[in-house]
Amino acid sequence: MAIKKFMYVNRKPPYGTVYALESLEVVLIGAAFDQDVSLAFIGDGVYQLTKGQNTEAIGQKNFSPVYSALGDYEVTKIYIEKESLEERGLTLDDLQHLVWEDEDEDYAEKDSIRLVSRAELADVMAEQEIILSF
């Protein structure tokens, strides 16, 4: 099967609507297809990755721990738009630390998150063949 560059663009925050959760479900299923996958978090999408989410009192499932498993699914390119974080008064310290293990380097732990400017992310987006927007 051909390998294509897939990008999942996440621009919506979690819980208020179902898009974030159902986008994550696509990413997990899509991982089985061995495509060249990138995730982009832009705008309110960056709120999907905040640390310390606790949904107990709103009666919804907390799906934020799933993001830390993405490395095991070989989803290792997670782009965060710098401007979006800054606009929201956030830094990378407010987000989960996502890592993957590099088999080729004796399972060395590497950062999955790539903090990039809008201009840099625009270049990455322009290289994609399939863009799934949520």
Partner 1 sequence: MSLLHTINKSPFESNTFDTCLGYALDGSTVLLIEDGVYAATTDTSAAEKIKNASSGVTFAVLGPDLQARGLEGKLADGIKVVDYEGFVNLVAENDSVQSWL
Partner 2 sequence: MKFSIQINEGPYQHQASDTAYQFAKAALAAGHEIFRIFFYHDGVNNGTRLAIPPQDDRNIVALWTALAKDNDLDMVICIAAAQRRGLMDADEAKRQGLDADNIAEGFRISGLGQLIEAGIEADRLVVFGA
End-to-end, the C-alpha distance of the chain in Å comes to 25
Alpha-carbon distance of 9 to 41, in angstroms, equals: 6
Q: Could you give the count of Cα atoms lying within 13 Å of 80 in the half-sphere of its Cβ?
A: 26
Alpha-carbon distance of 114 to 92, in angstroms, equals: 10
Restricting to residues 104-133, name those near partner 1 by CB under 8 A: 118-119, 121-123, 125-131, 133
Tell me, residue by residue from 43 to 82, as one string, x for binding to partner 1 by CB under 8 A and - for no binding: x---------------------------------------
21 Cβ contact partners less than 8 Å away, ≥ 6 residues apart: 14, 63
Size of residue set near partner 2 by CB under 8 A = 19
Residue 130 within binding range of partner 2, rule CB under 8 A? yes
Q: Which does 33 bind (CB under 5 to 8 A by kind): partner 2, partner 1, none?
A: partner 2
One residue of 15, 35, 43, 101 binding partner 2 per CB under 8 A: 35
Alpha-carbon distance of 43 to 65, in angstroms, equals: 21
Residue 134 within binding range of partner 1, rule CB under 8 A? yes
Interface positions with partner 2 (CB under 8 A): 1-2, 4, 6, 18-19, 22, 25-26, 29-30, 32-33, 35, 130-134
